[in-house]
A and B are shown apart, each in its own frame.
Chain A
Amino acid sequence: MQQFTVHKIGPEIKIAGIDLSFTNASLFMVISAVLISFFLFLGTREKKIIPDKIQLITEMLYNFVAKMISDTAGSKAKPYFPFIFSLFMFVLLCNMVGMLPYSFTVTSHIIVTLIMALFIFVAVTIIGFVKHGFKYLSIFVPSGVPAILLPLITVIEIISYLSRPVSLSVRLFANMMAGHTMLKVFGGFVVSLGILGGWLPLSFSVALTGLEILVAFLQAYVFAILTCIYLNDALNLHH
């Protein structure tokens, strides 16, 4: 579990008695953000009618996220496109950078994913109330449900709505942590079983690394698409 420990880098920064020191987690957030910026900078440096490779990749990412949003949340979600795009890129890069040996996986910390999920939850709720007023509460009362079941369903809906930030954050955090822990465990087996027996866990490690890269992409995608779905609920009120 040593790979998940957070430690201070540089001097201690304390603001109003709260420790806000720059840590290895902060460092890898900055690295991910810088990588995204650098990549997008390279991709948008030249405006070519016929794109080169890196421009093509940025345009594919743009279209990928744009399609994801328009498919799940419709055209009303266009103003939130930059946020979803940033969110997707940030989670994806944090996951991917975490796959490098000796690196730190920012998204394997519950506090990071929880803050992102809470922000999305609060923002979506505010958007819902701003767009629809108190009618937004009708999201808890699905239409076409028998009157007897309605109290039960409403309670379930409220619970499921409130558990959104928890499920969203825990899904990402647990996936990343579990994957890295598995890799660590199999790596430990390689060492403990030595040169004779270590080959099997080593091959497992290699396979798991491939799987983890898939999971890293998939979780970023799931995180972004769930955000789109929540946004869709807030924008298009037709439960």
Chain B
Amino acid sequence: MKRYLSLIIGFFVIKTNLFAAEAGMPQLDPTYWASQAFWLILVFAILYLSISKLYLPKIKGNLDDRENKIKEDLDNANKFKENSEAKIKEYATILENAKREVAKIHLESKNNLNKDIQSKKQVMEKEIEREIFKAQKEIIELKKSSIASIQNISINVASNIIEDISGDKLNESSIKATVDEVSKKNMGKYL
């Protein structure tokens, strides 16, 4: 394929006579070899010096700077991470302690409260008992006094009634004795 292509190209070149005037390779003409060598060495030397002394150190410096910056940033990030982890640990321990404290305080206060309630309850119970005792005593006294006054009233009533009915005054002491007797008989009924 390649051979045919080059054959066809060659044929066309000869046929059209395109390059007859330009036969030969200018590269093999030594007229300007020295000039080319001279200028090549000169230009390349200047280029080499400017690249090696000026541009490459700059590029290298910049690349190193970037690498250092990235490294530094990563180190910083790691440090921050460690710090934050330590802080989290600290926080966890504080939280744990606080929880324990709270539980302790809770228990303590609960116990205290219970004790307090117990003691107060006892005091109250005693008081109530006392009050009840007092009230009972009062009631008994009241009963006694009421019986006495009732007796007096009954004596009066009885003497008045007898006076009104019979018209003569009875001996007060005999009435009293009778009332006492009746009341003694019926005392259980009312009290």
Q: Bound state CA distance, A189 and B25, in angstroms?
A: 20
| Chain B 57-88: CB-based contact to A (< 8 A → 1; otherwise 0) | 01111110110010000000000000000000
Q: Bound state CA distance, A2 and B50, in angstroms?
A: 34
Q: Bound state CA distance, A18 and B9, in angstroms?
A: 40
| Chain A 194-217: CB-based contact to B (< 8 A → 1; otherwise 0) | 000000000000000000000000
- Checking B13, B34, B43, B48 against A19 with a beta-carbon cut-off of 8 angstroms, the contacting residue is B34
The answer to whether the Cβ of A135 comes within 8 Å of any Cβ in the partner chain is no
Give chain A's interface secondary structure class. Answer: helix
The answer to whether the Cβ of A59 comes within 8 Å of any Cβ in the partner chain is yes
Interface residues of B in 6-42 (CB under 8 A from A): 9, 12-13, 16, 18-19, 22-29, 31-41
Nearest-neighbour CB distance to chain B for A71, whole angstroms, equals 18
* A25 adjacent to B39 (CB under 8 Å): yes
* B43 adjacent to A1 (CB under 8 Å): no
| Chain A 20-45: CB-based contact to B (< 8 A → 1; otherwise 0) | 11110110011001001100110110
- Checking A29, A59, A177 against B43 with a beta-carbon cut-off of 8 angstroms, the contacting residue is A29
The answer to whether the Cβ of B91 comes within 8 Å of any Cβ in the partner chain is no
* B62 adjacent to A90 (CB under 8 Å): no
Q: Bound state CA distance, A116 and B39, in angstroms?
A: 12
Nearest-neighbour CB distance to chain A for B39, whole angstroms, equals 4
The answer to whether the Cβ of B140 comes within 8 Å of any Cβ in the partner chain is no
**Given A1-B26, A36-B47, A189-B12; A22-B56 close (CB under 8 Å):** no
The answer to whether the Cβ of A167 comes within 8 Å of any Cβ in the partner chain is no
Q: Bound state CA distance, A8 and B43, in angstroms?
A: 17
Q: Residue on A with the closest CB to B48?
A: A86
Nearest-neighbour CB distance to chain B for A95, whole angstroms, equals 15
| Chain B 162-191: CB-based contact to A (< 8 A → 1; otherwise 0) | 000000000000000000000000000000
Nearest-neighbour CB distance to chain B for A105, whole angstroms, equals 11
* B35 adjacent to A62 (CB under 8 Å): no
* A19 adjacent to B27 (CB under 8 Å): no
- Checking B12, B23, B52, B59 against A62 with a beta-carbon cut-off of 8 angstroms, the contacting residue is B59
- Checking A5, A36, A189, A192 against B51 with a beta-carbon cut-off of 8 angstroms, the contacting residue is A36
Q: Residue on A with the closest CB to B23?
A: A1
List the A side residues contacting B61 at CB < 8 Å: 47
Q: Bound state CA distance, A21 and B31, in angstroms?
A: 10
Q: Bound state CA distance, A26 and B36, in angstroms?
A: 6
The answer to whether the Cβ of A108 comes within 8 Å of any Cβ in the partner chain is yes
* B37 adjacent to A111 (CB under 8 Å): yes
List the A side residues contacting B23 at CB < 8 Å: 1
* B34 adjacent to A49 (CB under 8 Å): no
Nearest-neighbour CB distance to chain A for B132, whole angstroms, equals 93
- Checking B18, B31, B44, B66 against A90 with a beta-carbon cut-off of 8 angstroms, the contacting residue is B44
The answer to whether the Cβ of A151 comes within 8 Å of any Cβ in the partner chain is no
Interface residues of A in 1-15 (CB under 8 A from B): 1-2, 4-6, 8, 13
Interface residues of B in 110-149 (CB under 8 A from A): none
Task: Select the stretch in A77-85, A125-133, A154-162, A227-235 that faces chain B.
Answer: A77-85
For this complex, 6 residue pairs linking A to B, each with C-beta atoms less than 8 Å apart, are A1-B25, A4-B26, A6-B36, A19-B34, A44-B62, A81-B56
A sample of 13 more A-B contacts (CB under 8 A), given A44-B55, A189-B12, A192-B18, is: A1-B26, A2-B22, A6-B35, A23-B35, A29-B43, A33-B44, A40-B55, A44-B62, A58-B55, A110-B27, A111-B27, A112-B36, A116-B44
